[in-house]
Amino acid sequence: MRRTPRIRRPRESRTRPQVVAHRGSSHDTAEHTLAAYVKALDEGADALECDVRLTADGHLVCVHDRDLRRTASTTGLVSTMNLAELDELDFASWKSPWSDLDDEAPDRDPADGKVLTLRKLLEMVADYDRHVELAIETKHPTRYGGLVERRLVETLGDFGWDRAGSPARVMSFSLNAVSRVRRLAPGLEVVMLVDKAHHWPVLRPVVDDDWIIGPGIKELREHPGLGRHLVKAGREIHVWTVNTADDLEICLDLGVTAVISDRPAHILELLDR
């Protein structure tokens, strides 16, 4: 049985969708690094997107993959390592492996390539000189199950961001994870991410009316009926990962309220033309 939809917090009126930097400005800068997020804010991104995983000693870190082969060039799982062990790794060099041989490459602060904790990212947003929102995705499956969402809500609570009016919203492809967040923090906005168009008919009867829906742009492009159904149902739509003019046009036609992009500066430029 559906609950009565809660009153959504007011959003500033926009003539364009919110531009959310996917793992920071990750097209040009190593994803989930402090440098990627600083660059995204410098480019004018309205919001920042991050993935979070729980370390063995209970810290939430901004890392997409469960293992470290792609972004830290080493074996090991995030969930089996302590924060101190992760802090010894380089999460930036993989993006530009030949930069040490380029005399014209700018000097990189080693601290920018360290593993980024969610708390540090939240502190940066809290201290920034303009309003910035956060879209935080919890990754599943994980050995820690629901502890990830509990730690996330606790951390947001330290900033007073675990209630209505928070600049943060929580996303997941896991129905259980999104439901858990709503139970732990009923005032937080949540986003049910949709990986495949054919998953929506299954999800539709079990997601609450006030949940935001987050389809991938590939599914909207290849299955246009998905977008039409979401619009007809009056759903708020946030789309990932929007990097081209054609993909942005699909989103504008649907009236989506947020686009998540690896190239926030490019998307902002397209929107401002």
Q: Which residues are catalytic?
A: 22, 64
104 and 97 in contact (C-beta within 8 Å)? Answer: no
DSSP result, 157-196: HHTT-SSTT-SEEEEES-HHHHHHHHHH-TTSEEEEEESS
Distance CA(106)–CA(260), nearest Å, equals: 28
The verdict on whether omega for the bond into residue 55 sits within 30 degrees of 0, i.e. cis, is no
Distance CA(87)–CA(262), nearest Å, equals: 25
Half-sphere exposure of 122 (CA within 13 A, CB side): 23
Contacting residues for 109 by C-beta, under 8 A, at least 6 apart: 35
Tokens of 19: 């531009």
75 and 47 in contact (C-beta within 8 Å)? Answer: no
Distance CA(31)–CA(263), nearest Å, equals: 12
Distance CA(208)–CA(164), nearest Å, equals: 17
Residue type for position 134: L
